[in-house]
Amino acid sequence: MRQSELSYRHIDWVIVICYLLLTFFGWINIYASSFSEEASGMLNLGTKAGMQFIWISISIGVACALIFFINPRWYLSTTWLLYLGVLILLVGVLVFGKEVNGSKSWFSLGSVSFQPSELSKITTSLGLATVMSHYNFKINRWHDLLKVLLILGIPAGLIILEPEMGTILVYVGFLFVLYREGLTGWIIFFLGLVILLFILTLKFSPFVSMLVLLGIFGLLRGGQARQPLICIPGYLIAIVLLAFLPRLITLPWLAPLAEMGSDLLMALLLSAFCLYWIVRLIRRKEKKMKWFVGGLIASLILIFCVEFIFDKVLQPHHQARIENLLGIRDDPHGIGYNVNQSMIAIGSGGFSGKGFLEGTQTKFKFVPEQSTDFIFCTVGEEWGFLGSFGLLAVFFILITRLLITAERQKEASIRIYGYCVAAIFFMHILINIGMTIGLMPVIGIPLPLISYGGSSLLAFTVLLFMYVRMDLERWRR
């Protein structure tokens, strides 16, 4: 079948303009962050800004090629070949890779180095788009879900081996795509609950965590019950009473209980509660509550595994970063140094910033990795709240535009790919900016299109412009 004419008139200018704005803004911030009196000039090839200019030119060239010369069918039909190729690279980097900051994730070819995990985001997106757009695909069927989990799990597993925490977290973002394609939202809810309980247990105690868990369960149960107005206050009263448990067991005539400690006591009470629900579920058939009770039991087990996971599974530097983030251990000289300096830089920017090249925090190299992972410090310091707001707004427009156009696609595969691109951008922005302002643990991950680094810029360009090209397909007459 001969394809109808492609009309470049309909190219999505919003995305293209956002892209150009971001890369340009990134470039001037890299210039500012690596500015020194000796080597000035934005196009000086000896400087980072000069190098970035070259990479931006290359990227724009690649973007044009993707739009004008490369037919999406080429990469959509060879998705599995590309996917396999990247897997080989991921294995290869474990063997031949260069170790940087304890993770083996970089290939180094002369002066150029790149991370295969950046490519894996693209091929995984393509893989998801191909599999999930199959006419017979239903995500809530076990074997279909298994396929999806394999596509995500194999590269993710290899990346864990490197280990490269940032990319793993980006992979978590694919959950949003699965959600759009029919996966139950409870998965995301449960994931949020797990993170919440993890933080509460670490920061306070298993006891507090269990109280909160009971509260959430109470609310869910209330929403489910026939008489929520009786049910919810009932749970609330129970929680308030239980909150006095640690105080209560200090009473002399409850001394034998005190030896067990409030954590264990609470766990026993909740176990009894779970048992009650299990018996009740066997007797009556309350289908939805089955999941709630299952979740409750799983969460309970999780709370008591937190310490083990934290001590045994996480590496010491991750432990330190999380402890610092949660304020469990304050160490502004050691682990907390980066974040503290980064927040000072951003905070000193004030409302309108110190102005281009006027930033002193970043210029004096107090902030490490200032042109790559901590580039947002320069934005915050020199452009202030206004600049940061503007940058976030452009990102917001870009992602929203991706979601809106994706929803309009005729072909499911393009829609899914669009969602993947949006999810990847979103996770990068959230983690990177979150880290510089102390909302997330320090994880090395670039700010898309802004951070210094040719291979990262190129990867995001390819990711984005493959979608821009695919998007044109819906205008075929």
Partner 1 sequence: MGKDLYKQRLLILGMMIFFSIILIRLFNIQILDTQYKVNAENNALRYIAKYPVRGRILDRNGRVLVDNAYSYDIIVTPYDVKPFDTLALCRIFDLNPEDVHATFAEYRRYRSRIGFQSKTFLKQVTQDQYSHFLEMSHHFPGFTAVPRTIRSYPYNAGGNLLGYVSEVDASYLKKHPEYQSGDYAGKTGLELVCEEQLRGEKGYNIFLRNVHNRIQDSYSNGEFDKAAVPGEDVITTIDAELQQYGEYLMQNKVGSIVAIEPTTGEILSMVSSPGIHVSILAEIGKHYGKISSDPLKPMFNRAVMSPQPPGSVFKLVNALIGLEDGVVKTTSKHGCYDGFRASGIRVGCHTHPTPLDFRQSIMMSCNAYYCELFRDILHNPAHDSIQAAFTHWREMVQSFGFGKKLGSDFPAEQAGYVPNTALYNRTYGKRGWSALSVISLSIGQGELGCTPLHLANLGAILANRGHYFIPHIIKPENPEDLDPKYREAIHTLINPVHFEPVIEGMHMAVNSPPGSGATGRLAATKDLDVCGKTGTAQNPHGDDHSVFVCFAPKDNPRIAVAVYMENAGAGGSWAAPTAGLMVEKYLNDTISKSKKWIEDRIVEANLLNKVKAQK
- Interface residues with partner 1 (CB under 8 A)? 176, 179-180, 185, 332-333, 340-341, 343-344, 346-351, 354, 358, 360-361, 364-366, 380, 384-385, 388-389, 392, 395-396, 399-400, 403-404, 407, 426, 430, 433-434, 437-439
Shortest distance, position 404 Cβ to partner 1, whole Å: 8
Structural contact between residues 319 and 310, judged by C-beta atoms closer than 8 angstroms: yes
Check whether the bond before 116 is cis (ω within 30° of 0): no
Structural contact between residues 436 and 377, judged by C-beta atoms closer than 8 angstroms: yes
Q: Phi then psi for 100, rounded to 5 degrees? A: -125, 125
Q: Phi then psi for 411, rounded to 5 degrees? A: -95, 130
> By C-beta, is 86 or 416 nearer to partner 1?
416
> By C-beta, is 258 or 430 nearer to partner 1?
430
Q: Phi then psi for 247, rounded to 5 degrees? A: -70, -40
Whole-number Cα distances in Å, 203 to 46, 190, 192, 208, 326: 46, 20, 16, 9, 6
Structural contact between residues 476 and 2, judged by C-beta atoms closer than 8 angstroms: no
Element holding 107 (H helix, E strand): strand 103-109
Shortest distance, position 357 Cβ to partner 1, whole Å: 12
> By C-beta, is 196 or 437 nearer to partner 1?
437
> By C-beta, is 307 or 358 nearer to partner 1?
358
Please choose, from the candidates 375, 384, 340, 337, the residue with its C-alpha nearest in 3D space to the C-alpha of residue 33.
375
Shortest distance, position 191 Cβ to partner 1, whole Å: 13
> By C-beta, is 44 or 348 nearer to partner 1?
348
> By C-beta, is 210 or 398 nearer to partner 1?
398
The one-letter code for the residue type at 411 is E
Structural contact between residues 68 and 135, judged by C-beta atoms closer than 8 angstroms: no
Shortest distance, position 15 Cβ to partner 1, whole Å: 16
Shortest distance, position 130 Cβ to partner 1, whole Å: 20
Joined tokens for residue 61 = 């060239």
Shortest distance, position 179 Cβ to partner 1, whole Å: 7
Whole-number Cα distances in Å, 207 to 203, 250, 282: 11, 15, 29
Shortest distance, position 148 Cβ to partner 1, whole Å: 17
Shortest distance, position 281 Cβ to partner 1, whole Å: 29
> By C-beta, is 63 or 398 nearer to partner 1?
398
Structural contact between residues 36 and 386, judged by C-beta atoms closer than 8 angstroms: no
Structural contact between residues 113 and 107, judged by C-beta atoms closer than 8 angstroms: yes
> By C-beta, is 152 or 399 nearer to partner 1?
399
Report d(CA 169, CA 428) in Å as an integer.
9
